[in-house]
Chains A and B, each alone.
Chain A
Amino acid sequence: MNAIEVKNISKKFSLYHSSNKRMLEFLSRGKVKGHTDFWALKDISFEVPQGSTLGIIGQNGSGKSTLLSILAGVLQPTEGSYTVNGRVSTLLELGAGFHPEFSGRDNVYMYGTIMGLSKKEIDSRFEDILDFSELHEFIDQPLRTYSSGMTVRLAFSVAVNVDADILIVDEALAVGDMFFQAKCMLKIKEMIKKGITLIFVSHDVVAVKSICNKCLLLDHGKTIDYDNSERVIEKYFSMKVEREQGVIENVVSSLDTENSNSLDLWNDTEFQDRASFQRIQNGKARFANIQLLDEHEKEISVINYEQTIILRMAVEIFDDIEILGFGYHIRDKNGFDIVYSDSHVEGNNLYSVKMGERYIIDWIFRASLNYGIYTIACPLSIPIDKTFGCVNFCDFIPIAVQFTVNKERDIFLYGSVHWKNDIKIIIQSLC
Chain B
Amino acid sequence: MKFFSSVYQSFVSLFYYRELLWNFTKRDITARYSGTILGVVWSFLNPLAMFLVYLVVFGFFLHMRLPGDDSFMSFVLYFSIGFFPWAFFSSALMRSASAILDNRNYIKKVPFPAEIFPYSVILSELVSLCIGFGILIIFTFFVKGISLVIFFLPLILIIQIILTFSFGLVLSAVTVYFRDLYQILGSTLMVWFWLTPIAYPVEIIPQKIKFFMNFNPMFWMVNFYRDILFYKMSPDVWRMIVFFLLVSVIFMISIIIFKKAKKGFSEML
Contacts and interface: CB of A to CB of B under 8 A. Distances in A.
Interface of A: 13-14, 19, 22-23, 26, 69, 72-76, 90, 92-93, 96-97, 99, 101-102, 106, 109-110, 113-116, 118-119
A74 B107 contact: yes
Given A74-B266, A109-B23, A110-B23, A101 B35 contact: yes
What is the size category of the interface that chain B forms with chain A?
Answer: 20 to 34
Given A99-B31, A118-B19, A119-B19, A19 B178 contact: yes
Nearest to A114: B110
A102 B110 CA distance: 20
B34 interface: yes
A75 B267 contact: yes
A73 B267 CA distance: 13
Contacts of B27: 99, 102, 106, 110
A170 to B, nearest CB: 10
Given A97-B105, A116-B112, 8 more contacts: A14-B267, A69-B108, A72-B109, A74-B110, A93-B109, A101-B31, A101-B35, A110-B23
Interface string B1-31: 0000000000000000001100100010011
Contacts of B208: none
B67 interface: no
Contacts of A19: 178-179
Nearest to A107: B27
A12 to B, nearest CB: 10
Given A13-B267, A109-B23, A113-B20, A96 B178 contact: no
Contacts of A22: 177
B206 interface: no
A74 B178 CA distance: 21
Contacts of A69: 108, 266
B139 interface: no
B173 to A, nearest CB: 14
A1 B203 CA distance: 72
A74 B111 contact: yes
Contacts of A110: 23, 27
Contacts of B110: 72, 74, 90, 97, 114-115
B263 A76 contact: yes
18 contacts: A26-B177, A72-B109, A72-B110, A72-B111, A74-B108, A74-B110, A75-B267, A97-B109, A97-B110, A101-B31, A101-B34, A101-B35, A110-B23, A113-B20, A113-B23, A114-B106, A115-B110, A116-B112
Tell me what chain B mostly uses at the interface: helix, strand, loop, or mixed. helix
Interface in B201-222: none
Contacts of B23: 109-110, 113
Contacts, number: 57
Nearest to A101: B34
Contacts of A96: 105-106, 109
A110 to B, nearest CB: 6
Q: Which 9 A-B pairs have the closest CB atoms?
A: A73-B111, A96-B105, A113-B20, A101-B34, A74-B266, A96-B109, A92-B109, A113-B23, A75-B266
A208 B31 CA distance: 40
Contacts of A115: 110
A166 B35 CA distance: 39
Nearest to A142: B34
Interface string B28-71: 00110011000000000000000000000000000000000000
Contacts of A101: 31, 34-35
A72 B105 CA distance: 14
B102 to A, nearest CB: 12
A90 B109 contact: yes
A22 B179 CA distance: 12
A26 B110 CA distance: 28
Contacts of B19: 113, 118-119
Interface string B95-134: 0000000000111111110000000000000000000000
A328 to B, nearest CB: 48
The winner among A92, A102, A116, A119 for most chain B CB atoms within 10 A is A116
A226 B109 CA distance: 26
B176 to A, nearest CB: 11
A111 to B, nearest CB: 10
A19 B109 CA distance: 24
B45 to A, nearest CB: 20
Contacts of A119: 19
Contacts of B109: 72, 74, 90, 92-93, 96-97
A102 B35 CA distance: 11
Contacts of B106: 96-97, 114
A72 B263 CA distance: 14
A216 B191 CA distance: 57
Contacts of B111: 72-74
Interface string B232-269: 00000000000000000000000000000001001100
A118 B109 CA distance: 19
A316 B260 CA distance: 72
Contacts of A97: 105-106, 109-110
Nearest to A11: B267
Nearest to B34: A101
The winner among A73, A90, A97, A113 for most chain B CB atoms within 10 A is A113
Contacts of A92: 109
A118 B20 CA distance: 9
Contacts of B266: 69, 74-75
A74 B109 CA distance: 6
